[in-house]
Structure 1
Amino acid sequence: MAHPRDKEGLLHLYNKVLPPLAEKTFQHLQEVIPLFDDFKLEKVLDTWSKDKNASSEKEISLENGNVQQMGLRVQLTGFQKAGAQTFDVSKDLVFFLEYSSYIVGPDKNTAWLERFYLQPWSARELEEIAEKWTDEVIEEITHKLQGLG
């Protein structure tokens, strides 16, 4: 049975799915992090986009169960390697929160996984999404290096 988007479903994602996904991503980025001055991996929450189908004037929050997007953001700043220009990389992994399910991907046009709220993630799914997202981050770094070369 599909569980609609609500406080319980959103808190489950925010507290039970994002932290292990961030941990797996951090493990995959271990070789890249030392190349930069600073590294951040944080949870992000969209509290400004209103649901166009909702007539409610309720504040957008996890507590009210009406958030449209959440996810993770990785920021690598101050790439440093002899002879190369410094640059920064920022990549989001977004959970697009629909009425009874959510879609995970790097942008609104790319769906890597679709899940119902409260549906558990397997260790393999966490690993696969972390790997795909890490690949995107590394690809971005590679493009910037090639552009600077």
Structure 2
Amino acid sequence: MQHTRDKDAILQLTNKILPKLAERIHANLSAVTPLFEDYKLEKVTDTWTKDPHADDDTEISIENGNVQQVGLKLRLEGFNRAGADAFDLNKNLIFKLELYDYSVGSGTGNSWLEKPYLENWSDSEVDEIAVNWVEELIEEITQRVAGIGE
């Protein structure tokens, strides 16, 4: 039987999977973070987006099991290198929570992984998502430094 999105499924993602991913992303960013004056990586929960199938009166919360998105938010502030304009950069890793499964991506219409709720992640899956996300981040930094996409 498939597990549906509920409090337990969302808590597993926010308490077990997101910390593992944050740890791996943090390690993969060791070459990038010194380029910036400040760096923050935090868990985020979308408590604004209503479930289209939910009762309008139900509060959106992990407790109610009706959150649509969780993820990680990175904020890099104060890129400061000679010859390049200073800039800040924000990047999200989004878990889009459907009824029976969820997808993981950077929120730009891509999805790197889809999984049913309560299925464990392998170390290689954690690595793959962290690498994909950091590669995308490095590409964005490279474009900004080169003056593309401002």
Q: Give the structure-1-normalised TM-score.
A: 0.96
Work out the CA distance in 1 between the residues paired with 2:89 and 2:101. 30
User: What 5-or-longer segments of structure 2 have no aligned partner?
Assistant: none
Q: CA deviation at 1:55?
A: 2.1
Unaligned runs of 5+ in 1: none
Conservation of the 8 A alpha-carbon contact between 1:96 and 1:108: no
Identity of matched residues, %: 53
Letter in 1 for 2:42: E
The C-alpha deviation readout for 1:10-40, integer Å capped at 9, x for no partner, is: 0000000000000000000001100000001
**Which residue identity is paired with 1:4?**
T
Partner of 2:144: 144
SS at match of 2:138: helix
2:22 corresponds to which residue? 22
Per-residue CA shift, 1:78-133, capped at 9, x if unaligned? Answer: 00111221001111110000001000011262110001111000000000000000
Separation in structure 2 between the aligned mates of residue 75 and residue 30 of structure 1, nearest angstrom? 14
The within-5 A match list for 1:88-127 is: 88-107=88-107, 109-127=109-127
Residue 4 of structure 1: aligned partner = 4
Matches of 2:147 and 2:61, distance apart in 1: 40
The Cα of 1:56 is off from its aligned counterpart by 4.7
AA aligned to 2:124 is R
Residues of 1 paired with 2:101 and 2:57: CA distance? 23
Q: Secondary structure at the match of 1:25?
A: helix
